[in-house]
Structure 1
Amino acid sequence: MADKYKKLLGVIGITAAVYIGLRYLLAYVAPFFAAYLFVRLVNPLTRKIQDRMKIKKEWSTVFLLLLVTGALAFGCWILCDQLIIQIRNVVMNLDGYRRSFGGMVDGCCQALEGTFGINGEDIRQFIYQNIEYMEDRVQVYILPGLFNSSIKYAAGILKGIATFFVIFVAVTLLIRDYDEINDRLLKYSPYRKFLDIMDRLWNIGGAYLKAQLSIILIVTVLCVLGLWLLGNPYALLVGIVIGLLDALPFIGTGTILLPWAVICLIRGDFFYAASYATLFLITNGVREYLEPVLLGDKLGVYPIVIAIVVYAGICIFGVAGVILGPVMLFLVVEILKAIFPKKEICEMKEQFRR
């Protein structure tokens, strides 16, 4: 019994250590850890370049880093440029959208009154009262904070530039002596265990992240393409929002597409109602199909557990918890596997079931 609680305390201690590391220390070591991962990833390629072209590893690594960064920056710039155009168009046409929304509300109320005998005027007043309440909340709580948010965003951009500079310097310094440092550290057992944990975490966590990013990208492309075919002028903006919502647990594309379809159905726009419902079925079906295909049994964790840790990660870390939640789970599991033999882990499971 004492041994059982000792192991339980060990599990709690490891979980607490991983949480503290991700919650409070990650921000300080993240640039250097990112530099280490990048160097470890490109080191075999830079060796080949050095052997064939007689170019120093530092130069080829810096070139690869700049190439990857430049490609990502160019893609983000094109995407952000289009998003800014669509956001600006939304702001410039707010009055027109307000009138269109009012007409849509009136049409829906009339349809409900004619179909179900519900008093349309009561529904209309209820909707407009809530809209006025939301506008008051925006003016009181959101608008005053926009200036502070702008300052935070500007500071965030500067921080991102500084972080990239630190990563750039760290990569340049590390690649020069990476092989020698790695050979020396391999003599120590803790470092070998660290590499084993990193390899398993890379295989499991990498598979999860690659699968989720692939699914998010495919769902987003389907949403953007579907809305574009339907003639939506903000297909890119709305499609990206829907695709990102699909990554959050218990939300999905139906959060926007299904109410949209219901509103169109009430208004009598049966074509658009059927189109949005079809788009939801397609995107939801694609996720349901791709998840087992891309992940299979690689995680060894039930999907409901992943949903729980993603939700817990969002509560703890904010938006970054979508990634950090599962990473925390995988890291705890792999550390337990490295510390306790497989036989002991099975015994622990049996003891805790009793």
Structure 2
Amino acid sequence: MRKSMCRIGRILGITIAVYACVRWLLPLVVPFFIAFLFAKLLNPVVEKLNQKMKIKRGIASVVIVGSLVVLIGSVLVMFLWSLLEQVRHIISNLEYYQRKAGMIWENCCGQMEAITGIRAEELQRNVDVYIPKFQRQVEEKILPSLMDGTFGYAKNLLVVSGVCFIVIISTILILRDYHKIRKGLEEHPVGKVGLKVCRRTYEAGGAYIRAQLVIMLIVSTACVVGLYFAKNRYALLIGCGIGLCDAMPFLGTGTILIPWAIFEIVQGKYMMAAICAAIYAICSLLRESLEPKLVGDKLGMHPLLVIASIYVGLNLYGIWGFALGPFSYILIREIYCCKFS
């Protein structure tokens, strides 16, 4: 009994310490943690350049990290440019889409009259009463709040840019003295335990993050391809938006695709409704089949534990809890096993 109580006390102590570290310490060290991970991944390439081509580690580190930054930056710029082009096209043709929306609404009213028997003019009149109210709400509340948040958005953008700069510079510095830093950590008692815990946590936590990114990429690709074959000119923009919704907890692809399918049925466009339903079924099947396999197996966790840790994480950490919840559970488990096994 005493042994069980001691074990419970240790678990509670580790849990409290992990929660405090993830909540307050992690945001301060995460750029350097990311830099160390990049350095660990890029070190073999730097080693080859240093040994075979006799290039100094400092120069090789700058070349490798700089090339990677240019490659990733180019891909992101091309991707964002394509998205912005589609957004620009929507804005430039806004009047056309407003007229088209009016025509669609009239068609929907006609369809509702045929189904319910309520006159289309009555439906239009009832909705027309609320349109000016909605416009006033947008003008008086939503737009001012967006304008007030402009400074905050710019500040956040500067913060993100600064963090990226710190990660790049830190990666170069760590790569330059990678062996010295690694040796210093391995020789220190605390560093040795920390490396062991970080290694085991990375093997599991990295698998979780990779799995979520792979699932989001596959779902987004399925949506983009499906909408492209449906001849939707905004396939990239809408498909990426649906994939992002799917990655968000408690949202999913059905948040967009199900109302869209119903909307197309009301208009009498049954083929497009069938395409939306097919995309939704494919994306749901992909996530249901991939998530337990990629996440549960790699973490060594039952899928129910994964869901429970995400739920607890959302309540403790907010929106980032879908990643920090499983990460905290893995960290607690690895610290306990490492220290007390």
The CA distance in 2 between the partners of 1:300 and 1:185, in whole Å, is 27
Q: Cα distance 1:224–1:17, how it changes in 2: closer, same or farther (>3 A)?
A: same
Q: Cα distance 1:304–1:292, how it changes in 2: closer, same or farther (>3 A)?
A: closer
Percent identical residues: 36
Structure 1 equivalent of residue 248 of structure 2 = 248
The CA distance in 2 between the partners of 1:131 and 1:119, in whole Å, is 19
Q: Which has the higher mean CA deviation after the structures are superposed, 128-137 or 281-290?
A: 128-137
Q: Which amino acid aligns with 2:109?
A: C
Secondary structure in structure 1 of the residue aligned to 2:231? coil
Structure 1 equivalent of residue 193 of structure 2 = 193
Is the aligned partner of 1:220 residue 2:259? no
Task: Summarize deviations over 1:195-222 as a string: whole Å, max 9, x none.
Answer: 2222221221121111211111111111
Shift of 1:242: 0.2
Q: Which amino acid aligns with 2:172?
A: T
The CA distance in 2 between the partners of 1:185 and 1:72, in whole Å, is 30
Q: Which amino acid aligns with 1:336?
A: Y
The CA distance in 1 between the partners of 2:130 and 2:6, in whole Å, is 55
Aligned alpha-carbon RMSD (Å):
2.6
Structure 2 equivalent of residue 15 of structure 1 = 15
The CA distance in 1 between the partners of 2:296 and 2:310, in whole Å, is 19
Q: Cα distance 1:295–1:169, how it changes in 2: closer, same or farther (>3 A)?
A: closer
Aligned positions of 1:160-199 closer than 5 A: 160-199=160-199
Q: Give structure 2 stretches of 5+ with no counterpart.
A: none
Alpha carbons 1:249, 1:307 under 8 Å: kept: no
Aligned positions of 1:100-179 closer than 5 A: 100-117=100-117, 124=124, 127=127, 132-179=132-179
Alpha carbons 1:243, 1:253 under 8 Å: kept: yes
The CA distance in 1 between the partners of 2:103 and 2:8, in whole Å, is 62
Alpha carbons 2:209, 2:323 under 8 Å: kept: yes
The CA distance in 2 between the partners of 1:13 and 1:306, in whole Å, is 22
Aligned positions of 1:211-290 closer than 5 A: 211-290=211-290
Alpha carbons 2:57, 2:176 under 8 Å: kept: yes
Task: Summarize deviations over 1:226-245 as a string: whole Å, max 9, x none.
Answer: 11221222211111110011
Alpha carbons 2:61, 2:176 under 8 Å: kept: no
Q: Cα distance 1:123–1:195, how it changes in 2: closer, same or farther (>3 A)?
A: farther
The CA distance in 1 between the partners of 2:321 and 2:94, in whole Å, is 33
Structure 1 equivalent of residue 307 of structure 2 = 307
Alpha carbons 2:223, 2:242 under 8 Å: kept: yes
Q: Which has the higher mean CA deviation after the structures are superposed, 36-45 or 128-137?
A: 128-137
The CA distance in 2 between the partners of 1:18 and 1:201, in whole Å, is 13
Alpha carbons 2:225, 2:235 under 8 Å: kept: yes
Q: Cα distance 1:315–1:103, how it changes in 2: closer, same or farther (>3 A)?
A: farther
Alpha carbons 1:220, 1:240 under 8 Å: kept: yes
* Residues paired across the two proteins, number: 341
Alpha carbons 1:113, 1:120 under 8 Å: kept: yes
Alpha carbons 1:104, 1:267 under 8 Å: kept: yes
Alpha carbons 2:65, 2:172 under 8 Å: kept: no
Alpha carbons 1:224, 1:239 under 8 Å: kept: yes
Structure 2 equivalent of residue 81 of structure 1 = 81
Q: Which has the higher mean CA deviation after the structures are superposed, 112-121 or 244-253?
A: 112-121
Q: Cα distance 1:18–1:241, how it changes in 2: closer, same or farther (>3 A)?
A: same
Structure 2 equivalent of residue 50 of structure 1 = 50
Task: Summarize deviations over 1:97-131 as a string: whole Å, max 9, x none.
Answer: 33333332332233233224456566556655665
Q: Give structure 1 stretches of 5+ with no counterpart.
A: 342-354
